[in-house]
Amino acid sequence: MTDGPGLDALTHDLDRAHVFHSWSAQAALDPLVIAGGLGTRVWDHAGRTYLDFSSQLVNVNIGHQHPAVVNAIREQAELLATIAPSTANLTRGEAAKRIVARAPEGFSKVFFTNGGADANENAIRLARLHTGRDKVLSRYRSYHGNTGAAIVATGDWRRIPNEYARGHVHFFGPYLYRSEFWATSPEEETARALHHLERVVQAEGASGIAAILLESIPGTAGIMVPPPGYLAGVRAICDRYGILLILDEVMAGFGRTGRWFAFHGHDVVPDLITFAKGVNSGYVPVGGVIISDEIAATFDERVFPGGLTYSGHPLAAASIVATLDAMESEGIVENARRVGAEVIGPALRSLGEKHEVIGEVRGEGVFWALELVADRATREPLPAAAMGALKKDLLARGLLPFVQDNRIHVVPPCVVTDDDVAEAVEIYDAALAAL
């Protein structure tokens, strides 16, 4: 039998021989081997363990290998492994029921997809069909997925080589640390960002705009919690011009912010809510759109021209039921809120006071970012080479980080403990000191 290091080498060789990786030039890749996990930790075949403060792609909210979710998938596989989406299935219905129970009043239906990208894709489709309009507005600092319309709605560099979809317009959202609006306070940032957005709406022709698509809290773009009044202000602009509001909760939803949905903390109700990742911690690929009753009624007598072979797949549905039930019974969302407010936030702010390289600390729940700078006065971002060295050092110290641009995203599972946080902060501290 192959030993642990041998299995790691075999796994790595098989990957490099046959797996084509996303968002990467392939030749120089050296992927980390992961063989197993439990709770907030993962390990390779040789037994080297890492504290997972990335939650992989910020989706393992309930932690790795939660027994209730694993058992639910196993039991569903033994009962019925797959079924067409045109059928009625008890597990699928129970999953939808639990999802809409966390949504605002006036949401009764869920359209299931395979993930977050096609959730946003179908939300855009619903908005266009419901309004009879075409354009979709979204932020430059955003990520909405890698399918046709979702990637063009995305604002970051990944959009540029993929601009094949029509009718997309971008605008700047609030980001006080690097304000586009010369703002000096959250109130100024909100007012000026909303003025900018309304002027874009007017200049683009409000009568042709179907929807404004926003991440409730931009995740990959930098975990930028909206300043007070911003999301409510966007809702008011939408209402003024008859535009739908789509809130993307793919990364921020289901406990990540210490709330079931991130927008619950911002006095706003959207027209469409997209989700994926956290609803079942990524154990089985799934996503969806939570549809307001008004929009759903559009298709009572009119065919909705969209569908997916695996929409509402029973294994995914079973994992949703088990995940949401466990999160409820075990107080996992409350844990995320408490740990964020009482442990992670204070600890990261202490790091910010200690290390000049930290320009800003921001976040809530288990959704935080350390923005790193070469110079605090100029706010010049820390160069890519230094970020690469920092990531390598964090891994060497036993922490699996989420590093994006000039930021460390501190995004552990919602089940993270105070001791886990203390261990991670000690590692961040040592690596930043070494840097």
| Buried/exposed 24-57: b ≥16 CB within 10 Å, e otherwise | eeeeeeeeebbeebebbbbbbbeebebbbbbbbe
**pLDDT at residue 200 tops 90:** yes
What's the pTM value of the predicted model, to 2 decimals?
Answer: 0.97
- Domain-wise residue ranges, the chain: 32-65+331-434, 67-329
Residue 273: its H or E element: strand 272-275
Beta carbons of 238 and 197 less than 8 angstroms apart: no
Q: For 268-297, what is the mean pLDDT?
A: 98
User: How many angstroms separate the CA atoms of 246 and 380, rounded?
Assistant: 33
Sort strands 135-139 and 209-215 into parallel, antiparallel or unpaired.
parallel
Q: For 106-111, what is the mean pLDDT?
A: 98
Q: What is the CATH number of domain 32-65+331-434?
A: 3.90.1150.10
Within 132-260, where are the H helices? Answer: 148-153, 186-204, 230-241
- Judged by DSSP in three states, 363 sits in strand
User: How many angstroms separate the CA atoms of 421 and 424, rounded?
Assistant: 5
Give the count of beta carbons closer than 10 Å to the beta carbon of residue 97: 13
- Judged by DSSP in three states, 301 sits in coil
What's residue 4's pLDDT?
A: 86
Which residues contact residue 423 at a Cβ distance below 8 angstroms, ignoring those fewer than 6 apart?
51
pLDDT in tens, 243-277: 999 999 999 999 999 999 999 999 999 999 999 99
Give the count of beta carbons closer than 10 Å to the beta carbon of residue 190: 22
- Judged by DSSP in three states, 358 sits in strand
Cα 221–chain centre separation:
10
Give the count of beta carbons closer than 10 Å to the beta carbon of residue 383: 12
pLDDT in tens, 349-401: 999 999 999 999 999 999 999 999 999 999 999 999 999 999 999 999 999 99
Give the count of alpha carbons within 13 A of 82, CB side only: 5
- Domain 67-329 coded CATH 3.40.640.10: yes
Both structure tokens of 377: 């006065």
Burial (CB count <10 Å: 0-12, 13-18, 19+), residue 290: buried
Q: pLDDT grade, residue 1 (50/70/90)? A: very low
**pLDDT at residue 2 tops 70:** no
Beta carbons of 244 and 86 less than 8 angstroms apart: no
| Average pLDDT for the chain | 97
Q: For 105-128, what is the mean pLDDT?
A: 98
**pLDDT at residue 17 tops 70:** yes
Say which residue the tokens 């040592």 belong to: 430
User: How many angstroms separate the CA atoms of 299 and 297, rounded?
Assistant: 5
Dihedrals phi, psi of 311, to nearest 5 degrees: -60, 120
Q: Which DSSP letter does residue 178 get?
A: G
Which residues contact residue 316 at a Cβ distance below 8 angstroms, ignoring those fewer than 6 apart?
95, 112, 280, 284, 285, 286, 310
Q: Which DSSP letter does residue 91 get?
A: H
**pLDDT at residue 279 tops 60:** yes
User: How many angstroms separate the CA atoms of 236 and 203, rounded?
Assistant: 18
User: How many angstroms separate the CA atoms of 182 and 174, rounded?
Assistant: 11
pLDDT in tens, 69-79: 999 999 999 99
